Structure 1
Amino acid sequence: MANPKTTLYVGGLEENVTEGVLHAAFIPFGDVKDVSMPLDQATQKHRGFGFVTYLEKEDAAAAMDNMHNAELYGRVLTVNYAQPIKIKGGEQGWASQPVWADADTWFERQQQEEELAKLNAEHEATVKAAEEEERKRAAKGDVEEEDNDMKDDPMAQAEAVAVAQQSS
């Protein structure tokens, strides 16, 4: 199924309904791109539902509004937007991949996120401590002495600018 906003699920189909009948029932609402009715492998008959794909999402919306709870061959239809196909498997969606195959990558990602959160918390604590130390020095009047030291040290100047920017 292409776009869930252009593909409709049509449920409650009577067993004599064919793709041609379904196409004819939905064509009044716009250009139909595709009609499919999955077959039951044992009986080779459709399974009581189908999918109608329109070229335009507005046509699909109009068909859903008009055909939901409508009657076709004596059966009441259920018409909704189709859900994307969910393939069982890992994050990559491979059907041959077991569900637990990506567990290691998930755990690694969780550990990385926790580590990043710890580093961010440590960084914030360091910045707050530096700001508090700067406030204490300013209160004591030691800032003037530090300004003289910073004239000779470019790294100290850069740190002071960074602290000033973060506090504003």
Structure 2
Amino acid sequence: MASTAKKADKRALYVGGLDKQVTEHTLFTAFVPFGPIKGVQVAMDYSTHRSKGFGFVEFIDELDARAAIDNMDESELFGRTLRVSIAKPDRPKLGSNKPVWAEADEAMDSTSGPTEDVAKDA
């Protein structure tokens, strides 16, 4: 029986424990000694425009990613201890992105009977 779960890309790393002042450039600079990097992303708080304390680094080669984990996990950056591991794939989202009350409003609109214009014509 085939599994439908996504396998983790062993080139993509989760980096936790980041200081709020860490930028994508800072993260890139810290990890590039281990090999060519495909992309870097720091999770940002939209209201403060500062780091949420974690990010992702994707290497071109899996062996470089492994070297980065071996060397950077539990190391320090800006006085904070980093947690570096293989990034887990996104979990499939169940259900709708609409809030329950929006669906309830739509249901009420479609079952509330005739509109005022229809009632006048009767």
1:1-168 map, 5 Å: 4-89=9-94, 96=97
Q: Deviations over 1:25-64 (max 9, x none)?
A: 0001000110001111332212100000000000000000
User: TM-score normalized by structure 2?
Assistant: 0.69
Structure with the higher fraction of residues in helix conformation: 1
Q: Distance in 1 between matches of 2:92 and 2:35?
A: 30
Q: Deviations over 1:57-115 (max 9, x none)?
A: 0000000000000011111100000000113216xxxx549xxxxxxxxxxxxxxxxxx
Structure 2 gaps, min length 5: 1-7, 99-122
Q: Distance in 1 between matches of 2:47 and 2:90?
A: 22
Q: Distance in 1 between matches of 2:16 and 2:87?
A: 11
Structure with the higher fraction of residues in strand conformation: 2
Q: Distance in 2 between matches of 1:46 and 1:86?
A: 23
Partner of residue 129, structure 1 = none
Question: Which residue type is aligned with residue 51 of structure 1?
Answer: F
User: TM-score normalized by structure 1?
Assistant: 0.51
Q: Which has the higher contact order (CA 8 A, sep 6+)?
A: 2
Question: Which residue type is aligned with residue 16 of structure 2?
Answer: G
Identity %: 46
Structure 1 gaps, min length 5: 98-168
Q: Distance in 2 between matches of 1:40 and 1:17?
A: 12
After superposition, the CA RMSD in angstroms is: 2.1
Q: Distance in 1 between matches of 2:51 and 2:92?
A: 21
Could you list the structure 1 runs, at least 4 aligned residues long, displaced by more than 4 angstroms after superposition: none
Question: Which residue type is aligned with residue 62 of structure 2?
Answer: K
